[in-house]
Structure formats: structure tokens, C-alpha cells
């Protein structure tokens, strides 16, 4: 089985961190190709970055047509719907994988993420997936995404503090780590807090392997109907001037 894992931002160290987490849990016969676009934002921290990374993300996916499934290694599930239109194979985001895993092992869970600006997108996705009622809270550490790559002990302390607050104040029974840059912390924090601390990368690997093994593909019956390449509509400058003057 060949899985493509795309980090939608351009930071190679984060791509490698996610790849290590993915390969740690993958089946022996699963080959994981980890990549990121050559162009785009170096981190994804809110709606604007999500929009800016989409062209590079889709171009990268189009370069790897021989895979059995795709994992989007961004907690915002960036470009998930567009990718499902582009490809026939199963496509899963690490955000949705983490949420669904948490909902199956705990009655209520909390998300601990990076910047406060990311909370809105996460909350929107929880509503979309029908899991808002299962989520006790979405807590921001206000750690910039790339700061996680530095291994600063102060960052780990901030993550620990939000997990502790989610458990004591929000009554969370599991924690979903809200960034691919936290993928290496799952086991350590699970042991420390005594509850499931969930990394979406690891969960996405197992889930997508199961979809492929079951022979499932992305439905093309409606919303995810095959994407059609469209030539861009362009007008020359004089036509644009005529249009503006006419208005």
C-alpha cells in the first residue's frame, strides 16, 4: 500500500516530523511518501494561510497519481474537499481523524492547538463533522506553529498547562493535539496525564489503511464529482475599461 502524506505548508522539518509519526504506526507493507509544496506559506495559522496554500497543495497531489490514499497533514484539514474532487482514492485530514478517534475513546474531548486565530476554523470543522457536542473545549496555547520546531521547553509547558486546564475545568476525558507539529508528543503526554492524548497523524494512517483494505474509494456521485479543468476566463485591458465605464 502506498500512502501520500502532504504537509500543505512549505516547512520541510514539519513534514519530516509528521512522516516519522506516520511511519511509526504504519503497517509493515505500507510505504509513506511525505512531501510538501515548493511554494506557499511556511506555516498555516488561520483562514488566509489556508487560502494561500491551496494551489501548491493541489499541484503536489497531482504529481502523485499512483498512490492508494492521501493524508493531509494539517489540522485545519486544508483543501480536503477539493482534494476529494481531484482524486478517486480515499483522502483524509488529520483533524477529522483526530476528532473521530477521540469521539470513539472518550465521552468528551478537548482540542489543544496553537494560536487563538486557529480556534474559529477548528470550531467550524467540529460543527461540520457533527462532533461539536462531543468537544468540551478548544484551547489555544498561543504558540506559533514554527516555534514547535525549536523544541523549546517553555512551549511544552504551555501545552501541558492547557491540557491540565481542559481536564480539570472542562472535564475532558481525552485531548486532541491541534497541530501536526505536536505529533511527537502524543505518547509522552498520554503517559503523563493518564488519558488518551491523540495525534491526528497517527490516527489518519490507521484509518486510511482501513479504507484502502476495505476497497473503498471517494464517491463521485455528487459533491465530490470528478474535478474538471477549466480554462481561466480572461479579458484584455480595453475590455475591462469598457466594462467599468459602462457601469
| 40 and 9 Cβ atoms separated by less than 8 Å | yes
Residues spanned by CATH 3.40.50.12500 within the chain?
Answer: 2-94+203-213, 95-200
**pTM reported for the whole predicted model:** 0.90
Query: What's the confidence (pLDDT) of residue 149?
Result: 83
Q: Secondary structure of the chain: what % helix, strand, coil (to 5)?
A: 50, 15, 35
Spell 38-68 as b/e; 16+ CB within 10 A means b: eebbebbbbeebbeebbebbbebbeeeeebb
Confidence of residue 232 (pLDDT cuts 50, 70, 90): low
Write down the number of H helices and E strands in the chain.
9, 8
CATH class name, domain 95-200: alpha beta
Query: What's the confidence (pLDDT) of residue 228?
Result: 83
Q: pLDDT tens digits for 174-185? A: 999 999 989 889
Which residues, in sequence order, are CB contacts of 189 under 8 Å at separation 6+? 159, 160, 163, 175, 177, 197
- pLDDT at residue 238 above 60? no
Q: Take residue 212 and report the three cell numbers written for it.
A: 484502502
Query: What's the confidence (pLDDT) of residue 116?
Result: 95
Q: Given CATH 1.10.3720.10, say whether it is the number of domain 2-94+203-213.
A: no
Listing from the earlier edge strand, what are the strands of the sheet with 69-72?
31-35, 2-6, 69-72, 91-93
Query: What's the confidence (pLDDT) of residue 151?
Result: 82
Cα–Cα distance between 211 and 68 in angstroms, integer?
10
First to last CA, the chain: 57
Query: What's the confidence (pLDDT) of residue 14?
Result: 92
Cα–Cα distance between 218 and 227 in angstroms, integer?
12
Whole-angstrom Cα Rg for the chain: 19
Q: pLDDT tens digits for 166-207? A: 999 999 999 999 999 898 899 999 999 999 999 999 999 999
Cα–Cα distance between 95 and 201 in angstroms, integer?
8
Residues pairing with 197 in the sheet: 175
Q: Cell 482501513 identifies what position?
A: 210
Cα–Cα distance between 156 and 147 in angstroms, integer?
11
Q: pLDDT tens digits for 59-103? A: 999 999 899 999 999 999 999 999 999 999 999 999 999 999 999
Q: Above pLDDT 90, what percent of the chain? A: 85
Cα–Cα distance between 68 and 48 in angstroms, integer?
30
Overall average pLDDT of the 8-26 stretch: 95
Which residues, in sequence order, are CB contacts of 135 under 8 Å at separation 6+? 99, 108, 109, 110, 111, 126
Q: Take residue 240 and report the three cell numbers written for it.
A: 475591462
Amino acid at each position: 500500500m502506498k500512502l501520500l502524506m502532504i504537509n500543505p505548508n512549505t516547512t520541510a522539518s514539519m513534514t519530516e516530523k509528521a512522516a516519522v509519526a506516520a511511519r511509526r504506526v504504519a503497517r509493515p507493507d505500507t510505504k509513506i511518501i511525505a512531501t510538501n509544496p515548493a511554494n506557499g506559506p511556511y506555516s498555516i495559522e488561520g483562514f488566509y494561510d489556508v487560502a494561500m496554500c491551496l494551489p501548491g497543495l493541489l499541484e503536489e497531489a497531482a504529481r502523485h497519481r499512483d498512490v492508494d490514499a492521501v493524508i493531509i497533514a494539517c489540522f485545519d484539514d486544508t483543501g480536503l474537499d477539493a482534494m476529494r474532487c481531484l482524486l478517486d482514492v480515499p483522502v483524509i485530514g488529520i483533524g477529522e481523524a483526530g476528532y473521530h478517534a477521540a469521539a470513539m475513546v472518550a465521552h468528551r474531548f478537548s482540542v489543544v492547538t496553537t494560536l487563538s486565530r486557529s480556534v474559529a476554523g477548528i470550531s467550524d470543522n467540529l460543527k461540520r463533522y457533527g462532533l461539536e457536542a462531543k468537544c468540551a473545549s478548544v484551547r489555544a496555547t498561543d504558540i506559533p506553529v514554527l516555534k514547535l520546531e525549536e523544541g523549546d521547553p517553555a512551549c511544552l509547558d504551555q501545552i501541558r498547562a492547557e491540557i491540565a486546564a481542559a481536564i480539570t475545568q472542562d472535564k475532558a476525558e481525552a485531548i486532541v493535539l491541534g497541530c501536526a507539529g505536536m505529533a511527537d508528543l502524543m505518547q509522552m503526554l498520554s503517559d503523563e496525564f493518564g488519558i488518551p492524548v491523540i495525534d491526528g497523524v497517527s490516527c489518519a494512517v490507521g484509518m486510511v489503511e482501513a479504507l484502502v483494505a476495505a476497497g473503498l474509494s471517494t464517491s463521485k456521485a455528487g459533491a465530490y464529482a470528478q474535478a474538471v479543468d477549466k480554462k481561466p476566463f480572461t479579458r484584455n485591458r480595453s475590455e475591462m475599461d469598457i466594462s467599468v465605464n459602462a457601469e
